[in-house]
Structure 1
Amino acid sequence: MTARWADPSCPRDERAESLLAEMTLEEKLAQLGSAWPGVERVGGDVAPMQDLFARHAGFASACKHGLGHLTRPFGTRPVEPADGTRRLAAFQRELIDGTRLGVPAIAHEECLTGFTAYRATVFPTALAWAAAFDTGLVERMAHAIGTSMRRVGVHQGLSPVLDVVRDYRWGRVEETLGEDPYLVAMTGTAYVRGLESAGIVATLKHFAGYSASRGARNHAPVSMGRREFADVILPPFETALRDGGARSVMNSYADVDGVPAGADPLLLTRLLRDEWGFQGTVVSDYWSIAFLRTMHRIAATDGDAGARALEAGIDVELPNTLCYGEPLAGLARSGVVPEELVDRAVRRVLRQKAELGLLDADFSPDGTGEEPIDLDPPAHRAVSRELAEKSIVLLGNRDGVLPLAPDTPSIALVGPCADDPNALFGCYSFPNHVLPHHPGHDNGIGTRSLLEALTAELPTAAVAYERGCTVTDFDRGGFEAAVGRARSADVCIAAVGDRAGLFGRGTSGEGCDVEDLALPGVQGELVDALLATGTPVVLLVVSGRPYALGAFKDRAAAVVQAFFPGEEGGPAVAGVLSGRVAPSGKLPVQIPRTPGGQPGTYLHPPLGGNSQGVSNLDPTPAYPFGHGLSYTAFAYEELRLSAAETPTDGQVEISCLVRNTGERPGAEVVQLYTADPVARLPRPVTQLTGFARVDLAVGEQRRITFRLHADRLSYTGPDMLRIVEPGEITVAVGSSSADIRLSGTVLLTGPVRTVGHERRLHTPVHID
């Protein structure tokens, strides 16, 4: 007879309770732990302080009583997809056959720029998704990623990153979706929907405040008031949970105002569960529970750290079991830790396993068959290329040198990012994340560098390449040859930027924070030397963060920004340079003028900007948030407001015509901004409230209508309640935060209204 917990026809919660009742304390705690098979044999770090903790890893001992999670069975070392699938199935079979209850584990993997596995598609990095302003495409990408993961037996993905950028010097800017909470919320929610639609549990990270660390230093404390935390940091998580349906959350490493997120019951239980109603699992960031003892020093022993985390609301310890195993068992046996807290977390894990089919009596880990496994199929590459093309931002085209004329005789392609395929990849791509520790392996996917792609794109042009310098060192020995190439060419393309890596092995990525925003190494000097030749220079920045370009803005013939565009990034960039692709990306972050102008963000109150001479420093960026040019032109006309006033619980429609007035098709990202000129507390001078990406043929016009509910104008008031208050609101429509084409006002009437979790979180858009 099938046990009740193994019967898929029984309700999920009943199955979880039935299985929980059969478990010993050791079996319960096993469900809250994890194992990372093989990590102790990996050279270098693919996670923080791996060398300190990996010695504790060991699959055989970890699964004695069962196991909650299997950590990165594909993302630890290069393994052929079919071999990795069989290996994962063998781990699961060992759990099923070798433990008393036979419960499989949830297998999780990283999936920020695609499934982080050998031979899997490398998509653009998250900052590029945001630059595309195309949530539908991001959802399609995430679904594609999820299908690959599900195909090989993976159940949970550790993405997306919903940290709102507060300081561009932080190394993980490339992993984020930019500096605006609404853009982050909409793009991140689209990713969640796509991943979950493929049957993969999406994991929101890092909850919460991680990106606002002091000095932009990784893991550094966060000094942020509760109001800013509520209005800037939390909304993307709330939206992705409520509208996206994410089933897991990962805690932040950082402490906010002295309280580590991993030991904060107000954050992980009262807010997340009691107020927001979250029913899924909270998983620890890697070793963050042990960090409560070793880094935060708020626990004396591993058991104490486990007790603090469990009480706060962390259900599963990743990436292996240090604090939730025997150290916590001893405290539970002695009554120091109530077993009810253990049961609370185990219920959540078992419910999720029931949802994933892992408790079903007929579950088999061996169901993949003998069909070839292609983790980089043409359909995925097509999505990757489309997203790369839409994410590239034309910052400036001062001399109209772009697009390059088809008959351009000679092009000098100079710079360290010109002939390096890995320069197109983010930190969490498999080639940059894992393969540096496994010399002798190729990338496992076909990728054309910019040099290869541009040569194919412009077959009649003579493309001459010189590296000039590296990304990181200070060797200027290649300058002379590079300058010579530029001087003898009709056009010079200077391809500079970042090399993604981990923990200081790159210039962008986790643990790769910077002191200022000058181009790394001597690349800025190389650009200066190229500009001095008199040859028109197209400055191409391929990077994971925005760098200060004010010194080059008015000297370069054109400026292009690409945020790590992925495996199809070479052809995508070449297509924009040639004109085959009309650029349509918009900045999800500002481009600073000067290297030291941080911290800064467009989302600031009046005193955060150029405030009428009260400071000698001008924080005005080189290029503003939302900026991006095209090879065509767009006119904005006929602003219409459905009402001049609306109550504080009402709605107004804001619409305008957008017309392509240029000579070629193009896409425009129409942006809606609002401002509250007089409020109870200082409010941002402008804030993105809606956006729509619209494709327009030559001469075509369409009407864009935003349905703005008063809830979208709410903020955290003096008493820490979220309110909508009466008064005049400015509404503005334009091509960027600084390129406003049409504006008007709406009067909110009636009483101050308090809103909560059920408020409207997005602005619907209709395109006629």
Structure 2
Amino acid sequence: MTLEEKLAQIVGYWVDQGGEVVAPMQGEMAVSGRYEEATEHGLGHLTRVYGTRPVDPVERAAWLWGEQRRLKTETRLGIPALVHEECLTGLAAWQAATFPTPLAWGAAFDPELVERMGGVIGASMRELGIHQGLAPVLDVIRDPRWGRVDECIAEDPYVVGTIGTAYVRGLQGAGVHATLKHFVGYSASRAGRNHAPVHAGPREIADTLLPPFEMAVFEGGVRSVMNSYAEIDGAPVAATPEYLTGILRDRWGFDGVVVSDYFSVAFLNNMHAVAADKGEAAELALAAGIDVELPTGDAFLAPLAERIRAGLTDEALVDRAVLRLLSEKEELGLLDETFENPPTEIDLDTPEHRTIARQLAEESLVLLTNDGVLPLTGTPAVERIALIGPNGDSAEALMGCYSFANHVLAHHPGTPIGFEIPTLLEALKGELPSSAVTYTEGSDVEGDDRSRIPAAVEAARDASVAVVVVGDRAGLFGRGTVGEGNDVESLDLPGVQRELVEAVVATGTPVVMVVLSGRPYALDWAVSGPTAPAAVLQAFFPGEEGAPAIAAVLSGAVAPSGHLPVSMPRSAGAQPYSYLHPILGGSSEITSADSTPVLPFGHGLGYTTFERSRLESDAHVAAGDSFTASVRVRNTGSRAGTDLVQLYARDLYASITRPVAQLLAYRRVTLEPGEEATVTFSVPTTRLAFSDSAYRRIVEPGEVELWVGGSCADKETTGGVTILGPVHEVGLGDRRIATSEVRLSQADAELSAAGSN
């Protein structure tokens, strides 16, 4: 291969890039140049050929198949391009299904369902000739002020790891390579600011930020990783071999491809200022372990070629990257593909897509409070429902930042979304046809216009129940209230939405507040006190089937079963906060600042009640082995429901401070009224591993408190296990997951069998 042919294989080309800003500093960074000239020597990646503007998928597939044939027949090497797209909430393309945002995946606590979702997303992508998806995001939430919280799964690394790995399995099971992002530390930025410096110690990185990525590498077999934009303690990840080579490849044995986050190679020159020019930036990135520059070849083409010819950069760095990229293409079957017959009919939103989207949306809805007003079918008088609020009749409010509608179509006003997505107004009318539903906007999501609040108050006075729908509007870089680049200094609801809710509550009409958001807000005023609505339902951008799911929960046709994957913050000033804090990280009598969250991690109500009892575990376990813990769960209410069985632990004394609570295992369990089940967990002691004073990952002997309850703060039934020495040093990939088994009680099993005969 010539140098030009090598470099062509380790860059992307953004065919459709125009004025639509869908990446940071896109207008300043992108190279120009005719596509035919850029592909003269071949091409590594085609960047977002379906996902940059609204294109008909069949027509675009025909174009893509033609281009791939041209690359095979009209370039000297005959190597097709690898095609990548965003797929965080479904394939980010026109007419493709839009699923709940990852924060909703976390709220559902259902890895199996997320794996099914990944499978159907991957199948759609493969049908369109797409080979790589830029998802999932495995950043652990550290500060809800950060705009990209809706792209993340949870504040607990184990939940992020298990659910993110499930998505990897689903996507790759369909033949599409997943891409973990953003490796590593991106979400731990100072003050929750995007692209801000990260000051995380090696222990926080090892014990909190790295485990989800490690799990996806060892348990998921992921084939691609994307670097973080972050600089950690002054060292940009894109130029630091310690992370992209030392940890990822040398320690973990990852043998896939590392792609750059968009423009991050050039950023080494113009944002981090650790490289004097783009050629030097290219050398730093290659030496650190980045193999492919995306979305275009700003640094890896002309600047790098000039540097190599001048004898300043060793061409062996390029050879290493090229071999990795070619191996990936061979693994994906690209080298043997003939591209003869593009699809002539494509359905990117099949009934299967919608079934999964509906189930995941339903499971993700978190009932925060309820004084009995919900479900509405249980209320004597719901003849008149006043639907109020800026998100009550908005389809865009149901979708996250990386949905095609909010990511791309916002730049194409007048273009239809391309699939069915009812608003909550439409869904509520369909769900409760015997109720008269009226709609009043009340306010905008943003801004200080209060002129429509009086009309909302009058609508509430005339109603039996008022449903007030508030929250976010996802967007990018200042467009919207949450999403990439939309970081905030306050965790109050945007605009005058709180005033709207409080004015409606003051009418005396029972109020249900529905929060459609991409981050948890400080809702202490809505959880308790004189301004609190009768019920609060949290929805984290639930996707195309989100409105019917919300309507079904409000009506009672579906029982809520979601739980908070992130603590509900007290205030912006109490951030950053994590339930995984040591003793000194919580509230105490020696500080006047209270960091206690309004609602804890794992909180979620339903329409029935559960009793958890008789937590039993092995008395002793050797460090490095697994122990068994079982708990009885009984549905003590009058209707069926799903409980999230949460097993927590606290390492009482250790050589390094440990968190006051840590989720060890979880399992969703559905029970009929009066039904009881025993849930048994097999828990590796490596779930309690941490980095010692020498930064070895170890399991220490000692006493461990165990409990199960409705959240991390609820010790409903308790127990304990003693870990026996000697100290166990954890090996590679030994962050094993807990397994679980559900067994109905004998009487319940007999009743179930009798009922099925």
Please state which band the TM-score falls in when normalised by the shorter chain.
Answer: over 0.9
Which of 566, 570, 577 matches 1:600? 577
Q: Which position in structure 1 is the counterpart of 2:726?
A: 751
Q: Which position in structure 2 is the counterpart of 1:238?
A: 214
Are residues 1:626 and 2:626 paired?
Answer: no
Q: Distance in 1 between matches of 2:506 and 2:581?
A: 37
| CA drift at 1:57 | 5.5
| CA drift at 1:578 | 0.3
Q: What letter corresponds to residue 359 of structure 1 in structure 2?
A: L
Q: Give yes or no for contact 1:394–1:585 (8 Å, CA) kept in 2.
A: yes
Q: Which position in structure 1 is the counterpart of 2:339?
A: 365
Q: Give yes or no for contact 2:215–2:735 (8 Å, CA) kept in 1.
A: no
Q: Which position in structure 2 is the counterpart of 1:564?
A: 541
Q: What letter corresponds to residue 497 of structure 1 in structure 2?
A: G
| CA drift at 1:60 | 1.8
Q: Which position in structure 2 is the counterpart of 1:168?
A: 144
Are residues 1:29 and 2:7 paired?
Answer: yes
Are residues 1:195 and 2:168 paired?
Answer: no
Matched residue SS, 2:119: helix
Q: Give yes or no for contact 2:307–2:313 (8 Å, CA) kept in 1.
A: yes
Deviation track 1:515-543 (CA, whole Å, cap 9, x = no partner) reads: 01000011111111111111111111000
Deviation track 1:156-188 (CA, whole Å, cap 9, x = no partner) reads: 000000000000000000000010000000000
Deviation track 1:320-343 (CA, whole Å, cap 9, x = no partner) reads: 011111211222233322222111
Q: Give yes or no for contact 1:636–1:656 (8 Å, CA) kept in 2.
A: yes
Deviation track 1:574-595 (CA, whole Å, cap 9, x = no partner) reads: 0000000100000001112334
Are residues 1:739 and 2:714 paired?
Answer: yes
Q: What letter corresponds to residue 721 of structure 1 in structure 2?
A: R
Are residues 1:536 and 2:513 paired?
Answer: no
Which of 338, 347, 351 matches 1:378? 351
Q: Which position in structure 1 is the counterpart of 2:50?
A: 74
Runs of 4+ in 1 over 6 A off after TM superposition: none
Q: Which position in structure 2 is the counterpart of 1:273?
A: 249
Q: Distance in 2 between matches of 1:418 and 1:483?
A: 15
Q: Distance in 2 between matches of 1:317 and 1:59?
A: 17
Q: What letter corresponds to residue 28 of structure 1 in structure 2?
A: K
Q: Distance in 1 between matches of 2:262 and 2:67?
A: 21
Q: What letter corresponds to residue 317 of structure 1 in structure 2?
A: E
Which of 107, 123, 129 matches 2:83? 107
Q: Which position in structure 2 is the counterpart of 1:300?
A: 276
Which of 364, 378, 392 matches 1:405? 378
Q: Which position in structure 1 is the counterpart of 2:750?
A: none
Figure out how many residues of one structure are paired with residues of the other and give that number. 739
Q: Give yes or no for contact 1:663–1:698 (8 Å, CA) kept in 2.
A: yes
| CA drift at 1:705 | 0.8
Deviation track 1:550-596 (CA, whole Å, cap 9, x = no partner) reads: 01212210010000000000100000000001000000011123343
Are residues 1:645 and 2:608 paired?
Answer: no
Q: Distance in 1 between matches of 2:24 and 2:8?
A: 24
Q: Distance in 2 between matches of 1:206 and 1:547?
A: 24
Are residues 1:228 and 2:212 paired?
Answer: no
Counterparts of 1:478-489 in structure 2, within 5 Å, are 478-489=452-463
Q: Distance in 2 between matches of 1:90 and 1:540?
A: 48
Counterparts of 1:94-173 in structure 2, within 5 Å, are 94-173=70-149
Q: Give yes or no for contact 1:415–1:466 (8 Å, CA) kept in 2.
A: yes
| CA drift at 1:713 | 1.0
Matched residue SS, 2:30: helix
Matched residue SS, 1:565: coil
Deviation track 1:122-177 (CA, whole Å, cap 9, x = no partner) reads: 00000001100000000000101000000010000000000000000000000000
Deviation track 1:372-409 (CA, whole Å, cap 9, x = no partner) reads: 10001111011001100000000110244434437511
Q: Distance in 2 between matches of 1:465 and 1:551?
A: 24
Q: Which position in structure 1 is the counterpart of 2:29?
A: 53
Which of 422, 429, 436 matches 1:448? 422
Deviation track 1:218-274 (CA, whole Å, cap 9, x = no partner) reads: 000001111011111000000011101110000000101101110010100111000
Q: Which position in structure 2 is the counterpart of 1:4?
A: none
Matched residue SS, 2:437: strand
Q: Which position in structure 1 is the counterpart of 2:366?
A: 393
- Structure 2, unpaired ranges of 5+: 744-757
Deviation track 1:188-228 (CA, whole Å, cap 9, x = no partner) reads: 00000000000000000000000010111100000111101
Q: Distance in 2 between matches of 1:324 and 1:389?
A: 45
Q: Distance in 2 between matches of 1:277 and 1:750?
A: 29
Q: Which position in structure 1 is the counterpart of 2:524?
A: 550
Matched residue SS, 1:161: coil
Are residues 1:476 and 2:450 paired?
Answer: yes
Note the aligned Cα RMSD (angstroms): 1.2
Q: Which position in structure 1 is the counterpart of 2:746?
A: none
Q: Give yes or no for contact 2:61–2:343 (8 Å, CA) kept in 1.
A: no
Q: Distance in 1 between matches of 2:546 and 2:171?
A: 23
Q: Which position in structure 2 is the counterpart of 1:315?
A: 291
Counterparts of 1:408-557 in structure 2, within 5 Å, are 408-554=382-528, 555-557=532-534
Q: Give yes or no for contact 1:204–1:249 (8 Å, CA) kept in 2.
A: yes
Q: What letter corresponds to residue 659 of structure 2 in structure 1?
A: P
Which of 595, 614, 634 matches 1:659? 634
Matched residue SS, 1:388: helix
Q: Give yes or no for contact 2:181–2:226 (8 Å, CA) kept in 1.
A: yes
Matched residue SS, 2:573: coil
Q: Which position in structure 2 is the counterpart of 1:705?
A: 680
Deviation track 1:420-478 (CA, whole Å, cap 9, x = no partner) reads: 01100001111111011112211001111000000111111111110000001110010
Matched residue SS, 1:56: coil
Q: Distance in 1 between matches of 2:736 and 2:312?
A: 42
Q: Which position in structure 2 is the counterpart of 1:692?
A: 667
Which of 326, 337, 343 matches 1:350? 326
| CA drift at 1:98 | 2.1
| CA drift at 1:88 | 1.5
Q: What letter corresponds to residue 621 of structure 1 in structure 2?
A: P
Counterparts of 1:209-220 in structure 2, within 5 Å, are 209-220=185-196
Q: Give yes or no for contact 1:36–1:58 (8 Å, CA) kept in 2.
A: no
Which of 556, 566, 583 matches 2:560? 583
Are residues 1:180 and 2:153 paired?
Answer: no
Q: Distance in 2 between matches of 1:57 and 1:258?
A: 34
Matched residue SS, 1:596: helix
Percentage identity across aligned positions?
55
Matched residue SS, 2:308: helix
Q: Distance in 1 between matches of 2:368 and 2:679?
A: 24
Q: Give yes or no for contact 2:31–2:298 (8 Å, CA) kept in 1.
A: no
Deviation track 1:667-719 (CA, whole Å, cap 9, x = no partner) reads: 11101111111111111100111100111122222111111121111101111
- Structure 1, unpaired ranges of 5+: 1-22
Are residues 1:714 and 2:689 paired?
Answer: yes
Q: Distance in 1 between matches of 2:128 and 2:229?
A: 30
Q: Which position in structure 2 is the counterpart of 1:17?
A: none
| CA drift at 1:55 | 4.4
Matched residue SS, 2:62: helix
Q: Which position in structure 1 is the counterpart of 2:754?
A: none
Q: Give yes or no for contact 1:109–1:157 (8 Å, CA) kept in 2.
A: yes
Q: Distance in 2 between matches of 1:474 and 1:588?
A: 31
Matched residue SS, 2:335: coil
Q: What letter corresponds to residue 593 of structure 2 in structure 1?
A: L
| CA drift at 1:419 | 0.3
Q: Which position in structure 2 is the counterpart of 1:12?
A: none
Q: Give yes or no for contact 2:58–2:343 (8 Å, CA) kept in 1.
A: no
